[in-house]
Amino acid sequence: MGLVESGKLPKPLTSLLNLSRKYSIWAYQWGLACCAIEMGAALASPRYDVMRLGVIPFPASPRQADLVIISGTVTDKMAPAVLRLYEQMPDPKYVISMGSCANCGGPYWDSYSVTKGVDQIIPVDVYVPGCPPRPEALLEGIVLLQERIQNEDMAARWKGEPIVVA
């Protein structure tokens, strides 16, 4: 058992490791509808360069990702695929729900086939509101996630316990 799992990591070392983790996030994008266009603008265009924030987009698979960004309408038929994607990611893993459809079902909330928010399937760390949200809103969500990573207890996160922000 290592220092992280035992919870005996010194505070200065925890701060240093959290600082390095917050600036090296591999982001996997899961675009399901129109919000994916805005997500693509934030992740791939030179105007909203996310790599300056320390976010590396486009990993080869979910097994190499630290963060998944779910954007668009999550249908009941797509829910098992979203869960499988989340389960394939290594710990510690983070989720950003982008857009009102992913957050709560959006304008389709009363449809029989729409999941009323991705948080009913997987735990969400940051919600980015909007229909569709602007790329700047996604960048702000990423910065908020980085602040949480900087202040989190690593041992609790690796054990799958909820985040407690100091």
Query: What is each CA distance from 27 to 7, 50, 115, 145, in whole angstroms?
Result: 27, 10, 23, 12
Strand 55-57 relative to strand 25-31, pairing: parallel
Is residue 102 within 8 A of residue 131, CB to CB? The reply is no
Residue 35 labelled as part of a binding site: yes
DSSP 14-64: HHHHHHHHHT-EEEEEEE-STHHHHHHHHHH-STT-GGGGTEEE--SSGGG
Phi, psi angle pair for 104, to nearest 5°? -145, 10
Residue 104 labelled as part of a binding site: no
Furthest C-alpha separation in the chain? 51
Q: Which residue has the tokens 């675009």?
A: 31
Residue 101 labelled as part of a binding site: yes
Q: Binding site for [4Fe-4S] cluster, residues?
A: 34-35, 101, 131
Q: Binding site, residues?
A: 34-35, 101, 131
